[in-house]
């Protein structure tokens, strides 16, 4: 195992990829989709975006253009690509630190397009972004409005025929505004809120937590361990995990094989199990050669660290922050599965039942972001409830920024 594979295994506990069978079965069709093609990747410096890029290079695309507002992330991505991928010399690579909602990005796309595929991984993905109205509206701008504007722009200028944007399992029966924002993004993919029908094939996917992805709780294990600080895990919270390679291949399967805004989701099988986050923390400590010891507060934890013995503390916290689900699911109530030839995945049909509500929501949100209309957090929640089926917002008054 490589370092990345060994790290991801601590969470997934799988030696065989859940994507392996379906990826191999559909390899020829996937290869035909990307071989010698021109691809634009938005948000390519993030965990999922960069993993997708490493994976898609194996299909020898003709050109790969990558944009991300994270300039340092782009630099590191290119360095890694140049150092470990022998096929990169066969692909014309272009990167630029752009905001995909900007006019500069539009100029970039017009000058460098059209593209065979556009893959969008840009998102504000943390539930902690619900802490105040400013970060909240930034989240809806990024996850909803910019997607809507981009899809319309790409279609109007005939810049692509295929568009993929990644969603999240938290969009199924959402309890957080982040999850609800991604559910609305899914609705946008159908394009039924535009004045005229779009001529772009769209798709998305909901999958589980990417093990040790940027900004995740699991990534903090590595950071804290290097700083000789206690690990932290919520009590009795279980999650499904996918590896970085699985995340990339799931996006490829969806982008190459689905249409009409369809949503690819993993099947809950024996090979895809749910694990307590506490167990992942325990596996991490054991892998580092220490004996894990679970404690209730950080003061006790630092006492253990100060002893400088073979024990390593894990602080177990109560899961009482806003927007956090006790469990994970991939299909929402009343959503319909459609038949497919996948073995380890299902396909959710993306239906819109509230087209006028979606139009009004986007118009109101645009007005708010332009400064023409004032809307409070409470007003926004009500508007989301009116649009998103089965939205059950949980607000405990506590957020993750107040946690260790």
Are 109 and 120 in contact, with CB atoms under 8 Å apart? no
Q: Does the 17-210+244-270+329-404 domain belong in CATH 3.40.50.720?
A: yes
Interval 192-199 mean pLDDT = 88
Of residues 114, 4, 19, 106, the one with CA closest to residue 50: 4
DSSP 70-121: -HHHHHHHHHHHHHH-GGGGGSEEEEE---TTSHHHHHHHHHH--BSEEEE-
Query: What pLDDT shows up at residue 370?
Result: 83
28-39 per-residue burial string, b: 16 or more CB within 10 A, e: under 16:
eebeebbeebbb
Q: Which has more pLDDT, 323 or 284?
A: 284
Phi, psi dihedrals of residue 149, rounded to the nearest 5°: -65, -40
Confidence of residue 180 (pLDDT cuts 50, 70, 90): very high
> What is the DSSP secondary structure assignment for residue 227, as one 8-state letter?
T
Cα separation, 49 vs 55, in Å, equals 10
Pairing of strands 162-165, 291-295: unpaired
Q: Is the pLDDT of residue 176 over 80?
A: yes
Helix (H) or strand (E) holding 186: helix 177-188
Query: What pLDDT shows up at residue 380?
Result: 87
Of residues 267, 374, 285, the one with CA closest to residue 329: 267
Supply the mean pLDDT for the chain: 90
Query: What pLDDT shows up at residue 393?
Result: 81
DSSP 320-383: -STT--SS--SS-TT--EE--S-SSEEEE----S-HHHHHHHHHHHHHHHTTSS---HHHHHHH
| pLDDT, tens only, 227-264 | 999 999 998 889 999 999 999 999 999 999 999 999 99
Query: What pLDDT shows up at residue 141?
Result: 94
Structure tokens at 150: 């981009």
Confidence of residue 322 (pLDDT cuts 50, 70, 90): low
Pick from 40-49, 144-153, 194-203, 394-403: least confident: 394-403
Q: Is the pLDDT of residue 114 over 90?
A: yes
Q: Which has more pLDDT, 42 or 194?
A: 42
| pLDDT, tens only, 204-214 | 999 888 998 88
Q: Is the pLDDT of residue 324 over 80?
A: no
C-alpha distances out from residue 323 to 31, 261, 319, Å: 39, 26, 10
Query: What pLDDT shows up at residue 295?
Result: 92
Are 205 and 246 in contact, with CB atoms under 8 Å apart? no
Phi, psi dihedrals of residue 228, rounded to the nearest 5°: 60, 50
> What is the DSSP secondary structure assignment for residue 316, as one 8-state letter?
E
> What is the DSSP secondary structure assignment for residue 192, as one 8-state letter?
T
| pLDDT, tens only, 351-375 | 777 899 999 999 988 888 887 767 7
291-302 per-residue burial string, b: 16 or more CB within 10 A, e: under 16:
ebeebeeeeebb
Q: How far apart are the first and last CA of the chain?
A: 32
Are 189 and 203 in contact, with CB atoms under 8 Å apart? yes
Query: What pLDDT shows up at residue 375?
Result: 73
Cα separation, 191 vs 150, in Å, equals 11
Pick from 147-151, 284-288, 371-375, 393-397: least confident: 393-397
Domain ranges in the chain are 17-210+244-270+329-404
Interval 132-161 mean pLDDT = 93
Query: What pLDDT shows up at residue 90?
Result: 79
Query: What pLDDT shows up at residue 402?
Result: 53
Cα separation, 253 vs 264, in Å, equals 8
Task: Determine what percent of the chain falls in helix, strand and coil, rounding each to the nearest 5.
Answer: 45, 15, 40
Q: Is the pLDDT of residue 13 over 70?
A: yes
Confidence of residue 23 (pLDDT cuts 50, 70, 90): very high
Are 351 and 336 in contact, with CB atoms under 8 Å apart? yes
Q: Is the pLDDT of residue 326 over 80?
A: no
Cα separation, 319 vs 301, in Å, equals 19
Sheet holding 274-276, edge to edge: 209-210, 238-242, 274-276
Phi, psi dihedrals of residue 369, rounded to the nearest 5°: -70, -25
| pLDDT, tens only, 58-91 | 999 999 999 999 999 999 998 888 877 666 667 8
The SS3 assignment for 273 reads coil
């Amino acid at each position: 195992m490589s370092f990345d594979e060994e790290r991801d295994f601590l969470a997934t506990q799988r030696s065989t990829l859940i994507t392996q069978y379906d990826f191999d079965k559909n390899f020829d069709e996937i290869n035909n989709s990307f071989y010698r093609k021109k691809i634009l990747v938005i948000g390519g410096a993030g965990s999922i975006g960069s993993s997708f890029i490493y994976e898609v290079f194996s299909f020898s695309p003709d050109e790969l253009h990558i944009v991300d507002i994270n300039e340092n992330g782009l630099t590191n991505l290119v360095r890694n690509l140049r150092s470990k991928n022998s096929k990169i010399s066969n692909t014309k690579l272009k990167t630029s630190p752009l905001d995909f909602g900007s006019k500069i990005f539009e100029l970039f796309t017009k000058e460098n397009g059209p593209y065979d595929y556009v893959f969008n991984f840009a998102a504000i993905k943390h539930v902690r972004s619900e802490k105040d109205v400013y970060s909240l509206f930034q989240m809806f701008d990024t996850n909803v409005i910019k997607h809507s504007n981009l899809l319309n722009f790409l279609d109007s200028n005939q810049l692509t025929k295929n568009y993929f944007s990644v969603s999240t399992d938290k969009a199924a029966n959402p309890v957080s505004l982040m999850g609800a924002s991604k559910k609305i993004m899914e609705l946008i993919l159908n394009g039924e809120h535009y004045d005229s029908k779009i001529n772009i094939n769209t798709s998305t996917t909901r999958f589980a937590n990417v093990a040790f992805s940027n900004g995740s709780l699991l990534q903090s294990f590595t950071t804290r361990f290097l700083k000789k600080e206690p690990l932290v895990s919520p009590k009795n919270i279980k999650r499904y995990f996918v590896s970085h390679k699985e995340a990339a291949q799931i996006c490829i399967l969806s982008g190459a094989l689905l249409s009409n805004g369809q949503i690819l989701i993993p099947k809950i099988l024996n090979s895809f199990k749910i694990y307590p986050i506490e167990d992942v923390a325990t596996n991490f400590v054991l892998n580092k050669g220490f004996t894990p010891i679970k404690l209730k507060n950080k003061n006790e934890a630092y006492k253990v660290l100060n002893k400088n013995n073979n024990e390593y503390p894990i602080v177990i916290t109560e899961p009482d922050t806003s927007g956090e689900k006790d469990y994970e699911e991939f299909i929402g109530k009343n959503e319909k599965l459609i038949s497919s030839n996948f073995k380890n995945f299902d396909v959710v049909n993306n239906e819109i039942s509230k087209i006028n509500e979606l139009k009004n929501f986007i118009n109101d949100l645009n007005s708010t972001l332009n400064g023409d209309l004032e809307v409070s957090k409470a007003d926004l929640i009500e508007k989301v409830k009116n649009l998103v089926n089965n939205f059950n917002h949980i607000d405990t008054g506590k957020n993750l920024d107040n946690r260790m």
